[in-house]
């Protein structure tokens, strides 16, 4: 009897210990290594989708590597989760844009950085993974309005072209003379689509775009893919004798490519102009070509708007070639909006500047303002505020400092998420609407690296599977 009781007690104790160890390990992993988060809003669309139940969307569930920034510094264009500097009880997710110790500007849809206090500037180029993820689908099915171009004639074709847009097939016989196929629509930034119903779209037109297709060559000749940005045309020339990529401008820069069009062969083509860099991909072989003479001064908003209205677009030019082109796809790079900020941000050491991928609808470093009150006993209270002193604070923290000494002031959530109350007469100094655009390194939680939910599992969830890596 005693032996049997001892065995039962040992089995029970062993299982309790194993269960306790498993819980402890899970807590350690969650605290130091890996944690799951849900995306609540649309500020990172289309990279990440938020909870939009009216639109039938369930927020993406993501995995965050919390250990990575213990091993190395954050890198530009990574997607990061952090504690909101104006209310540390909230977690935000944005893309890392500005790094410590540099100056930063948003101009012409691009990110510009300087390490010499604004004397010279350069465009911040995205690494391959981020570039691919931020080339947002536009044609034939835009990322957020997939049926926008359906039923429309979206191409203007010359002699020798046979366009069957519904079948995504474009045949060309350019035996007699050169002939063009031109995309008729303006290519607009995310959440805007030109279906021909607008008269002035220059402010939304973008020139950082990509075009991809498959070509089945029947007779070799020359096929030119041309991308025009602000009146400057960059070309990919695929020929039977040789192929080249040409960076346009006053002094065109030509780069030879190890490729030839061959009759009877098929090839997948992708050509992009992104961040002052051409990207050429031929059957999966990728080549990047930096512009040799990038500007040292970003364009002003006015210069950019005027130029964008002059000439942005995509066309194909065929000479002597006979071929079938299928599945033309056009995408556009994220076009960052300065929100009217014409200057720059000088990023302090140990701090970062972040933006949402849905740049037109994201509460990020461009939109953060802080109010503060210094009490007579030296206590400093800081909280989220409107853009300037004339703007009343809005929910979730509606508070403005009154000047009636008898009135009790309540700050519902200060920067630490704590409710603070004090009498107006205790205020020695106050300020409101001060820009507060940076994330301290201490607020970084980790790097978002994967979406693990939603998954198509009927009847529980019948929407699209969103499992993917975040780049």
Could you give the CA distance from residue 438 to residue 192 in angstroms, rounded to a whole number? 29
Domain of 295, CATH number, reads 2.60.120.560
In-domain check, residue 9: no
Q: At CA 159, angle to CA 156 and CA 160, rounded to 5?
A: 105
Q: Which two tokens stand for residue 17?
A: 């210990």
φ/ψ region of 252 (left if φ > 0, alpha if ψ in -120 to 50, else beta) reads beta
CATH classification at residue 403: 2.30.30
pLDDT given for residue 458 in this prediction: 87
Structure tokens at 38: 């849900």
Q: How big is the CA angle at 214 (ends 208 and 217), to the nearest 5 degrees? A: 125
pLDDT at 342 over 70: no
How many residues are listed for the chain in this entry? 471
313 and 389 co-located in one domain: no
Tell whether 51 and 67 lie within a shared domain: yes
Residue 425 sits in the same domain as residue 446? no
Backbone φ and ψ of 190, nearest 5°:
-55, 140
Same domain, 71 and 53: yes
Q: What is the pTM of this model?
A: 0.87
- Contact by Cβ (8 Å): 189, 45: no
pLDDT digits (tens, 9 = 90+) for 74-110: 999 999 999 999 999 999 999 999 999 999 999 889 9
CB-based contact 262:360 (threshold 8 Å): no
Return the CA Rg of the chain. 28
Instruction: Read off the tokens for 79.
Output: 């997607």
- Let me know if residue 111 belongs to a domain: no
Domain contains 230:
yes
Q: How far apart are the first and last CA of the chain?
A: 63
Confidence of residue 17 (pLDDT cuts 50, 70, 90): low
- Do both 283 and 379 map to the same domain? no
Together in a domain, 244 and 204: yes
* Tokens at 176, concatenated: 């007699």
Tokens of 82: 């952090």
DSSP characters over 141-193:
S-SS-TTTTTTS--EEE-TTEEEEGGGTEEEEE-SSS-EEEEE-S--B-TT--
Does residue 113 belong to any structural domain of this protein? no
Cα distances (angstroms) measured from residue 236 to each of 187, 323, 365: 19, 17, 37
Q: What are the residues facing 242 on neighbouring strands? A: none
In the predicted model, is pLDDT for residue 390 greater than 80?
no
- Flag whether 326 is in a domain: yes
Q: Report residue 332's pLDDT band, with 50, 70 and 90 as the boundaries.
A: very high
- C-alpha to C-alpha distance for 222 and 90, rounded to whole angstroms: 56
Residue 413 has phi, psi (to 5 degrees) of -145, 115
Dihedral sign of CA atoms 175, 177, 178, 180 in order: negative
Token code pair at residue 112: 């510009």
144 lies in the same domain as 235: yes
One domain for residues 424 and 383: yes
Lowest mean pLDDT among 144-158, 312-326, 388-402: 388-402
Q: What is the band of 3 on the pLDDT scale with cuts at 50, 70, 90?
A: very low
Cα separation, 226 vs 424, whole angstroms = 64
Q: If you search the block for the tokens 């050429």, which residue do you land on?
A: 280
Is residue 459, in this structure, part of any structural domain at all?
yes
167 lies in the same domain as 302: yes
20-34, 182-196, 208-222: segment of lowest average pLDDT? 20-34
| Residue 175 shares a structural domain with residue 189 | yes
Which residues form the domain of 134? 130-333
Assigned token pair, 295? 């500007």
Unique residue bearing structure tokens 């609808």: 361
Nearest to 66 by CA among 44, 78, 81, 47: 81
* Nearest-angstrom CA–CA distance, 340 and 317: 38
Show the tokens assigned to 274: 């992104």
* Token pair in block for residue 107: 């101009």
Total number of domains constituting the chain: 3
Give the CATH number of the domain where residue 48 resides.
2.10.109.10
Strands of 20-66, DSSP E: 34-38, 61-65
In a domain, residue 425? The reply is yes
**Residue 216 included in any domain:** yes
Segment among 7-21, 366-380, 423-437, 452-466 with least mean pLDDT: 7-21
Same domain, 213 and 260: yes
**Is 92 in the same domain as 178?**
no
Burial of 441 (0-12, 13-18, 19+ CB in 10 A): middle
Q: Which residues of 415-427 are buried (b: 16+ CB within 10 A; e: fewer)?
A: beeeebebebeeb
pLDDT in tens, 229-265: 988 999 999 999 999 999 999 899 999 999 999 999 9
Distance from C-alpha of 177 to C-alpha of 89, rounded to nearest angstrom = 66
Which of 22-31, 111-120, 408-417, 438-447 has the largest mean confidence? 438-447
């Amino acid at each position: 009897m005693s032996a049997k009781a001892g065995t039962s007690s040992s089995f029970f104790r062993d299982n309790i210990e194993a269960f306790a160890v498993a819980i402890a390990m899970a807590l350690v992993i969650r605290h130091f290594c890996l944690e799951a988060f849900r995306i609540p809003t649309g500020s990172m669309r289309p990279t990440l989708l938020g909870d939009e139940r009216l639109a039938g969307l369930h927020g993406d569930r993501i995995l965050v590597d919390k250990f990575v920034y213990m091993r190395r510094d954050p890198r530009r264009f990574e997607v990061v989760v952090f504690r909101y500097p104006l209310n540390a009880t909230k977690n935000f997710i944005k893309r890392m844009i500005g790094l410590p110790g540099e100056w930063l500007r948003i101009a012409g849809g691009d990110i510009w950085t300087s390490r010499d206090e604004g004397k010279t500037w350069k465009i911040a180029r995205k690494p391959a993974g981020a570039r691919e993820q931020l080339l947002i689908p536009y044609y034939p099915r835009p990322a957020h309005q997939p049926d926008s171009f359906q039923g429309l004639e979206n191409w203007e074709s010359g002699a020798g072209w046979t366009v069957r847009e519904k079948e995504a097939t474009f045949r060309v016989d350019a035996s007699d003379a050169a002939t063009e196929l031109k995309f008729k629509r303006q290519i607009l930034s995310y959440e805007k689509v030109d279906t021909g119903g607008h008269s002035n779209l220059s402010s939304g037109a973008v020139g950082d775009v990509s075009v991809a297709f498959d070509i089945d060559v029947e007779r070799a000749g020359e096929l030119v893919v041309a991308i025009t940005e602000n009146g400057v045309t960059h070309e990919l020339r695929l020929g039977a004798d040789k192929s080249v990529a040409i960076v346009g401008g006053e002094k065109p820069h030509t780069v030879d490519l190890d490729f030839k069009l061959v009759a009877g062969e098929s090839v997948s083509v992708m050509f992009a102009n992104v961040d002052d860099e051409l990207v050429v991909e031929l059957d999966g072989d990728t080549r990047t070509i930096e512009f040799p003479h990038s500007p040292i001064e970003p364009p002003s908003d006015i210069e950019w708007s005027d130029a964008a209205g002059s000439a942005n677009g995509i066309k194909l030019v065929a000479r002597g070639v006979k071929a079938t082109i299928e599945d033309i796809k056009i995408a556009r790079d994220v076009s960052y909006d300065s929100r009217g900020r014409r200057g720059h941000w000088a990023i302090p050491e140990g701090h970062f500047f972040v933006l949402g991928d849905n740049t037109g609808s994201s509460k990020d470093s461009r939109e953060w303002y802080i109010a503060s009150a210094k009490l007579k006993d030296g206590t400093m209270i800081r909280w989220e505020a409107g853009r300037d002193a004339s703007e009343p604070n809005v929910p979730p923290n509606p508070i403005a400092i009154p000047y009636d000494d008898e009135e009790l002031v309540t700050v519902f959530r200060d920067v630490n998420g704590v409710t603070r109350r004090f009498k107006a007469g205790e205020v020695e100094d106050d300020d409101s609407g001060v820009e507060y655009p940076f994330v301290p390194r201490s607020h970084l939680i980790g790097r978002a690296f994967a979406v693990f939910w939603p998954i198509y599992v009927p009847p529980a969830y019948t929407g699209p599977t969103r499992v993917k890596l975040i780049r």
